[in-house]
Amino acid sequence: MTNERQRKELLSAVKRMATLGLVAGTSGNLSARVKTGLYLVTPTSLPYETMTTDDLVLINDQLETVEGEGIPSSESLLHLAVYRKRADVAAICHTHSIYASAAAAAQVSIPPILDEVVVKLGGGVECAAYGPPGSEELAENAAEALGNRGAVLMRNHGVTGVGKTPAEALEACELVERVAQIFLMSQLAGGAKPLPPEVIEAGQAVYRMRHGL
Ligand SMILES: [Zn+2]
């Protein structure tokens, strides 16, 4: 198998995603850009607990398998659409975590209510227009709503986080889950209020600098 280092990095994030309970069963998926036009993705319908580096599938930007026995993730179009739009992104994580999915089911975007979210994700978390699972429509809607930020909610579905490494993309999904929980809980106390505009601007400036945007 080629790209052993990237395979290990990706698999390590896969195992952690499953351990954190951000997905149920074999749902969710992760990928990493090996180089331009070449990506490692998790296979569809294979239990994360027993997944090995050899199970990861190498695909090109035409969604053709270059190396591997498994079927590439059913959301591979989503991953390819984001990689096409974001040269700064080298890894993508998609999960169905509870609170993020609850916000996505309510079709609400999460406003910038926590400093760490603005600094790490570049602002709030937009809720993308709907697209059926696995479709080009879902892929394009999510990539568009993601913009230059670090994560996006997929309407009535889940969340996608991006980063320079699989660990960073997973961390974005973890952070969205945390802020989604806080956002929804804050409704009990009269609703979350946005941060002061100057704090949002300063946080976004840090994010852009870190990501070369
Ligand atoms: Zn999904």
Q: Which pTM value belongs to this model?
A: 0.97
| Distance between CA atoms of residues 17 and 4, nearest Å | 20
Residues acting as catalytic residues: 75
Res 63 pLDDT > 80: yes
Neighbours of 89 (CB within 10 A): 22
Q: What mean pLDDT, rounded, does the chain reach?
A: 96
Token pair, residue 103, equals: 């916000």
**Three-class SS state of 40:** strand
More confident residue, 109 or 213: 109
The domain spanning residue 175 has which CATH number? Answer: 3.40.225.10
- Number of structural domains the chain divides into: 1
Ligand 1 centroid to 169 CA: how many Å? 15
pLDDT at 2: 85
Ligand 1 centroid to 164 CA: how many Å? 21
pLDDT tens digits, one per residue of 152-209: 999 999 999 999 999 999 999 999 999 999 999 999 999 999 899 999 999 999 999 9
pLDDT tens digits, one per residue of 121-142: 999 999 999 999 999 999 999 9
- Taken as a whole, the chain contains a residue count of 213
State the residue range of the domain holding 31: 4-211
Cβ–Cβ under 8 Å, residues 92 and 47 = no
**Structure-token match 């975590």, residue found:** 97
